[in-house]
Amino acid sequence: MNVLPDLVAFASDALAAQGGLVEPGDDGSALAIVPRDVGAPLGLPDEVLLADRPGPGAVACVIGSAVVDGLVAALSASPAVCAVRSTDEPPRAAQAAALAGRFGLRNAVVDVGGGRATRRSYAIVAVRYRADADDRTEGIATTALALVDGAAAPHLAGVDVAARVAAWSIGSAAQSLSPERAEDARRRLTLEIRARLVPFVEAVQRRHARDHARVAAYFASLVEETRAARRGRDPAVVRQKVESFLAERDQKLRDLVPRFTARASVAPAYLVLVDAPVVEVEARLRRRKTERTIALRLCTGAPALDVVACEGCRQPALRPAACDEAAHLLCETCVPHAQGRFACPVCTNKLLR
């Protein structure tokens, strides 16, 4: 069952966040003292009564009203950013150890060691995307990752952010979003948005092909009729008419291109930095003569370990492989076949620098 939002409360909070003074009433309305620079673009006086329906001296806060649409546009112009501290119970060490015991590489041995309880910072990054052609689609794409190493945290990306943030305490994260983690988020969101837009683009292409064929067939029939009815007519007149039809056809086909060209735009939606309890389990990787130790992490509330990041493309690596030289972890896209020796993109890039 969908619950309609309390738009009076929304408008009250939005105006208060911009410096207004708001006094809630007993009947669900609210009296607001609005700064002039905030109220003028919304058409609000310095003192206004916010209500859930039109009335004498009241501004109705309903879906589609000027005040609600204006506040939504103003809030959407800049992304929301907050830092919270998770108050959830830490994960069980036994659960983390059991999950770590099932972690495997395609071409290396993993020895699991002891675990320790600690706290780590995560970033939940969301962007709004929109694509336009002869139709429109839009949505919000979200990704979540650990700030320490970029490991993906799918359980955080899929949570009801508003509900969870309200349940957690406001605080500061132990880390901020570094340029490296911001680039990780950008790459992952780019791939997700592209995948979401594939059906939209394919539908646009089908409609373009349909209209192209319809226009071409229509003018082909006109040309055929003109040439068939040329008896007793000057051939130059027939040729001129045919050329006119062909020129008109070509122009109409060219006009279809901008109509059926998909244009996409992306804008930041929100960034939530989360300080959460975790259990980290030490894992030693052994590939030929190379050894390396990494931390496998179970975050509170997660049903599975954080997904390690591929060190080649920075995408989540569900079935990683380790390179021979430095045991860099690589996904199936970077290394489709892990048998034998293969070129490691990370080691190659280091040699080229």
The position carrying tokens 């780590």 is 120
Instruction: Examine the pLDDT at 230 and tell me if it is beyond 70.
Output: no
Locus of tokens 């349909």: 210
pLDDT in tens, 303-346: 999 999 999 999 999 999 999 999 999 999 999 998 888 889 99
Nearest alpha-carbon partner for 158 in 173, 140, 138, 143: 143
Rounded to whole angstroms, how far apart are CA atoms 125 and 182?
9
Strands, sheet with 58-60, edge to edge from the N-terminal-most edge strand = 21-24, 30-33, 47-51, 58-60
User: Residue type at 159?
Assistant: V
Tokens matching residue 325? 């030289």
The average pLDDT across 132-156 equals 94
User: Could you give the CA distance from residue 188 to residue 331 in angstroms, rounded to a whole number?
Assistant: 14
Determine the average pLDDT of the residues in 81-107.
91
In the DSSP assignment, the letter for residue 318 is: S
The answer to whether the beta carbons of residues 73 and 98 sit under 8 Å apart is no
Summarize pLDDT for 265-297 with one digit per residue, the tens.
Answer: 998 888 999 999 999 999 999 998 899 999 999
pLDDT of 4 strictly over 60: no
pTM of the model: 0.76
Q: Are strands 47-51 and 109-132 parallel, antiparallel or unpaired?
A: unpaired
Amino acid 2: pLDDT: 46
Pairwise CA distance, residues 41 & 21, whole Å: 18
Q: Please give the Cα distance from 98 to 110 (Å, whole number).
A: 14
Domain boundaries, the chain: 7-77, 83-193+266-352, 194-264
Per-residue pLDDT at 213:
97
Are 236 and 263 a contacting pair, CB within 8 Å?
no
CA distance 119 to 96: 14
Cα–Cα distance between 187 and 178 in angstroms, integer?
Answer: 14
Q: What is the pLDDT of residues 121-139, one digit of tens each?
A: 999 999 999 999 999 999 9
Residue 165 clears pLDDT 80, i.e. is over it: no
Q: How far is CA 66 from CA 38, 56, 58, 188, in A?
A: 14, 17, 13, 36
Q: Inform me whether the pLDDT recorded for 3 exceeds 60.
A: no
- Both structure tokens of 149: 């190493």
* 62 within 8 A of 42, measured Cβ to Cβ: no
Alpha helices in the chain (DSSP H): 7-17, 36-42, 66-76, 93-101, 154-157, 161-167, 179-228, 235-259, 345-352
Which three-class secondary structure state does DSSP give residue 46? coil
Matching residue, tokens 């040439």: 227
Q: Is residue 116 pLDDT above 70, yes or no?
A: yes
User: Maximum distance among all alpha carbons in the chain?
Assistant: 98
Hey, is 49 helix, strand or coil? strand
Measure the CA–CA gap between 4 and 12, rounded to whole angstroms.
Answer: 16
- How far is it, in rounded angstroms, from Cα 187 to Cα 150? 12
Residue the block writes with tokens 């952010």 = 161
What pLDDT shows up at residue 174? 67
Q: Could you tell me what percentage of the chain is helix, strand and coil, using 3-state DSSP and rounding each to the nearest 5?
A: 35, 30, 35
